Amino acid sequence: MTIKVISFDVWDTLLNLNTYVGEVVSEISRLTGAPYAEVMNVFMNLREFLKSVRRSGSMNPHSYLSFSQELIAKSLRIDVDCVRRAIVRAALNVDVRELVVTGVNEVLAELRDSSSSLMIIIGNTMIWPSTITRLLIERVGIASYFTKQYYSDETGFFKPFKEAFYEALKDLGIHSSEALHVGDQVVEDYEGALKAGLYAILIDRGLSLSKGAVIEGGRGYRVKSIVEVPRVIKLIT
């Protein structure tokens, strides 16, 4: 089997979500004087609700970004522009050494050197736009590994919906059976990719497996760490 495209999720696959969220919360706290713990509590309480809205398909991805920012601002009783300022300031100030998931640089370098597959990003947006994620991908020094990046606020489609994967593959002229997606979310990344006809690798850090072990089922694979991804791709091909 030939894998022509390997797509990656961003948050908690390539970049540490909590690191960036923590920086955004710190910036809101600095701008408003609100206690850090209070702001973080609002973010944590809204995260699952915002995920459920995204998964329901009830909202256009282009409207969803403003909706999520306004919801956070309303919950904190602050102006939405403060949330937007904090997002930008966090992107400029976050420590990039803490932002990259352990092993990502080595994995991307190995795949580039050992595989002829294109590497791309297929990502969702929630509270900040794709322009911020693109900036962070540049700042941490991994942008050059990817041929293209596709985000929901640009394509108009969220993962786990098939169209999120199809839009990227159609743009590249690749059939879904020749593509593989790597991510950490069961619904968005693993189940979404499989339903769209791709191979899928779920990074499940809670797996009770020894290092190097893999759970395989059809086109789906589960591993504990991103460092196992190159080996799984070799198994598939």
Which of the listed residues 96, 115, 146 is the one where a domain comes to its end? 96
pLDDT score of 209: 61
pLDDT at 159 over 60: yes
- 136 and 191 together in one domain: yes
| CATH code for the domain of 75 | 1.10.150.400
- 137 and 199 together in one domain: yes
pLDDT at 113 over 70: yes
- 52 and 145 together in one domain: no
Domain count, the chain: 2
User: Given pLDDT bands bounded at 50, 70 and 90, which one contains residue 214?
Assistant: low
pLDDT score of 215: 59
- 51 and 163 together in one domain: no
- 10 and 62 together in one domain: no
pLDDT score of 216: 63
- DSSP structure string for the chain: ----EEEE--BTTTB-HHHHHHHHHHHHHHHH---HHHHHHHHHHHHHHHHHHHHHT-S-HHHHHHHHHHHHHHHHTS-HHHHHHHHHHHHHHS-HHHHBPTTHHHHHHHHHHH---EEEEEE--SSS-HHHHHHHHHHTT-GGG-SEEEEHHHHS--TTSHHHHHHHHHHHT--GGGEEEEES-IIIIIIHHHHTT-EEEEE-TT----TT--EEETTEEEESSGGGHHHHHHHH-
Percent above pLDDT 70 for the chain: 96
pLDDT at 217 over 70: no
User: Given pLDDT bands bounded at 50, 70 and 90, which one contains residue 120?
Assistant: very high
Which of the listed residues 50, 81, 96 is the one where a domain comes to its end? 96
Q: Range of 70's domain?
A: 17-96
- 141 and 160 together in one domain: yes
Which of the listed residues 45, 68, 96 is the one where a domain comes to its end? 96
